[in-house]
Amino acid sequence: MAHKLAFIGFGTVGQGLAEILLRKQQLVRQEMGEDVQVVAISDAIKGSVYNPDGLDLALVLDVVKRTGSLESYPDERSTQKGWDSLKTIRETNADTIVEVTFTNVRTGQPAIDHCRAAFAAGKNVVTSNKGPAALQYAELSALAQEHGAYFGIEGTVMSGTPTLRMPLLTLPGNDITEIRGIFNGTTNYILTCMERGMTYHEALARAQQLGYAEADPTSDIEGYDAMYKVIILANVVMGVPLQPHDVTCRGIADITPADIQRAGAQGKRWKLVSRLVKRGADVIASVAPEMISLDDPLASVSGTTNAITYECDLIGPVTVMGAGAGRTETGFSLLSDLIYIAHQAKRGHGMLV
Ligand SMILES: NC(=O)C1=CN([C@@H]2O[C@H](COP(=O)(O)OP(=O)(O)OC[C@H]3O[C@@H](n4cnc5c(N)ncnc54)[C@H](OP(=O)(O)O)[C@@H]3O)[C@@H](O)[C@H]2O)C=CC1
Ligand SMILES: N[C@@H](CC=O)C(=O)O
């Protein structure tokens, strides 16, 4: 028996997870209690390949690296090619869909439809795509539950750094009154590089090369990516269903080298700070650049590292710092969801986020 996966999208994060599955095959088998087998990959540009008995993952990665496409993956007896994302979700024998297409900050599509199709077919979804969790969390988690499937979204906030399941599993009993942090790796990387003398454009180009930025980096720069993460935290951790129009949002586009120098001269530093503050049944939410003093714990969070502080009424502030983006780091978030599914199934327990 093996737990079968179908990847929808096979860019930075999808390949990151595939590499981890190859490298940690034995450990993953131990943790999951069964092998993990990739049976299908469907990507808009690279094409698609399906084999119900499993793909040769090393070969897949090699072919994609050499040719940028899945077309030259060998045509064995039961290999099928050319299936689009919805056919792959509905008609393959996958147990879990790994949804790693781009995040669409206006509509959340086509990822929302990918999740709907997976749940309707009784399949789990693990995803780092922020669209479905930010825009349709209530609908999709209800649909997953109705069909006995799991909606794994750990990677949507701060890549593999535990931010969603951790407070639900380890902080219950506290009232979390405020959440504050740096939730976007690309902008934090750009601000750090600009402090070190790099131009904005050089820093953005490097963040894109390294696979940190969104397919459309406007999302990072204008703060929409951080806004989505704020909405997900409000929904999942605070239980308040925010919409994008509830969050005031300003990115770093207006921060100039002169602003960076002025902050330095005042013993301060620019950071793109996200906040959620509970006011009774409501949450006041914002994303905005702030000039913070160097003794603020967020001031030392540099590069693609992110940080989050949960203000708890019983234990006080709890801060987690770690990777905010990256190929392996986000690949790991998906693995953590897969292992969580297996652990809960083994124990016969229900699922948290
Ligand atoms: N990179 C990171 O560090 C992090 C990324 N994320 C999120 O994870 C997701 C994946 O990110 P990443 O791998 O970096 O993105 P990439 O742009 O590298 O990869 C996405 C892949 O999905 C493909 N794709 C787009 N639309 C479809 C579709 N309808 N059907 C099938 N394939 C499709 C893209 O093809 P094409 O190139 O042709 O568009 C591309 O190959 C995104 O939603 C992102 O926001 C979350 C945390 C961190
Ligand atoms: N583009 C995002 C990737 C992770 O969500 C970021 O830079 O944080």
**Nearest C-alpha to atom 41 of ligand 1 is from which residue?**
11
**pLDDT of the residue at 180:** 98
Report the pLDDT averaged over residues 28-54.
97
Q: How far apart are CA 159 and CA 165, in angstroms?
A: 13
- Which atom of ligand 2 is least distant from the CA of 184? 8
What residues are labeled active site?
A: 229
Radius of gyration (C-alpha) of the chain in whole angstroms: 20
Element (DSSP H or E) covering residue 232: helix 224-236
The pLDDT-based confidence of 1 (bands split at 50, 70, 90) is confident
**Nearest C-alpha to atom 10 of ligand 1 is from which residue?**
100
Report how far ligand 1's centroid is from the alpha carbon of 6 (Å). 15
**pLDDT of the residue at 76:** 81
In this prediction, what percent of the chain has a pLDDT beyond 90?
96
User: Which tens digit of pLDDT belongs to each residue from 82-125?
Assistant: 999 999 999 999 999 999 999 999 999 999 999 999 999 999 99
Report how far ligand 1's centroid is from the alpha carbon of 126 (Å). 14
**pLDDT of the residue at 77:** 80
CATH superfamily label, 165-323? Dihydrodipicolinate Reductase; domain 2 (3.30.360.10)
Report how far ligand 1's centroid is from the alpha carbon of 294 (Å). 35
User: Which tens digit of pLDDT belongs to each residue from 129-156?
Assistant: 999 999 999 999 999 999 999 999 999 9
CB-based contact 233:264 (threshold 8 Å): no
User: Which tens digit of pLDDT belongs to each residue from 187-211?
Assistant: 999 999 999 999 999 999 999 999 9
In this predicted complex, what is the ipTM? 0.98
Ligand 1: residues whose CB is within 6 Å?
A: 8-14, 42-45, 85, 100-103, 110, 128-130, 155, 159, 211-212, 214-215, 325-326, 330
The pLDDT-based confidence of 317 (bands split at 50, 70, 90) is very high
Residue 238 has pLDDT above 90, yes or no: yes
297 phi, psi to nearest 5 deg = -55, -30
Report how far ligand 1's centroid is from the alpha carbon of 156 (Å). 12
**Nearest C-alpha to atom 45 of ligand 1 is from which residue?**
103
Q: How far apart are CA 11 and CA 100, in angstroms?
A: 8
Sort 106 into a burial class: Cβ within 10 Å, 0-12 / 13-18 / 19+. Answer: exposed
CATH code at 2-160+328-347: 3.40.50.720
What are the domain boundaries of the chain? 2-160+328-347, 165-323
Q: Which of 12, 103, 159, 301 to mutate to test the pocket of ligand 2 (most atoms within 8 A of CB)?
A: 159
**pLDDT of the residue at 138:** 96
Question: DSSP assignment, residue 26?
Answer: H
The dihedral through the CA atoms of 9, 204, 227, 188 has a sign that is: positive
